[in-house]
Amino acid sequence: MNSALHQLPLWLDILLSLLVAIAAFFALVGSWALVKLPDVLQRLHGPTKATTLGVGCALIASGIWFALHGSLGVHELLITLFLFLTAPVSAHILVQAAWQDDPGLRPPPPPK
């Protein structure tokens, strides 16, 4: 195949590179939060938010790249669907388990 078919414009290369760098940054922040935050609820919050943003940026970059190279990008859509369905459910289950293990973690009820 001709190598000119696979070259992207500079602005698109920069955009995709930025998306991948942002994805790596958010994955790093989520991992750092998992290690450094003090209690189980805060440690859970960091990865579920930051890592989801990181994976989202990586999937956007992957989707754009494969769309420009003639592929539909079904894998990216399926991964996004799986991630957005499983991340909140697993976080909810972990919070319920933490509250059952230590009822003192549960926030007080709102005032009436």
The residue extents of the domains of the chain are 14-104
Digit-by-digit pLDDT tens for the chain (112 residues) are 455 556 888 999 999 999 999 999 998 998 898 888 888 888 888 888 887 888 889 999 998 888 888 777 788 889 888 988 888 888 889 889 988 998 888 888 899 8
Tell me yes or no: is domain 14-104 CATH 1.10.1060.
no
Q: How far apart (Å, rounded) are the C-alpha atoms in residues 93 and 26?
A: 23
Q: Determine whether 34 is exposed, middle or buried from the number of CB atoms within 10 Å of its CB (0-12, 13-18, 19+).
A: middle
Q: How far apart (Å, rounded) are the C-alpha atoms in residues 103 and 106?
A: 6
Q: What is the pTM of this model?
A: 0.75
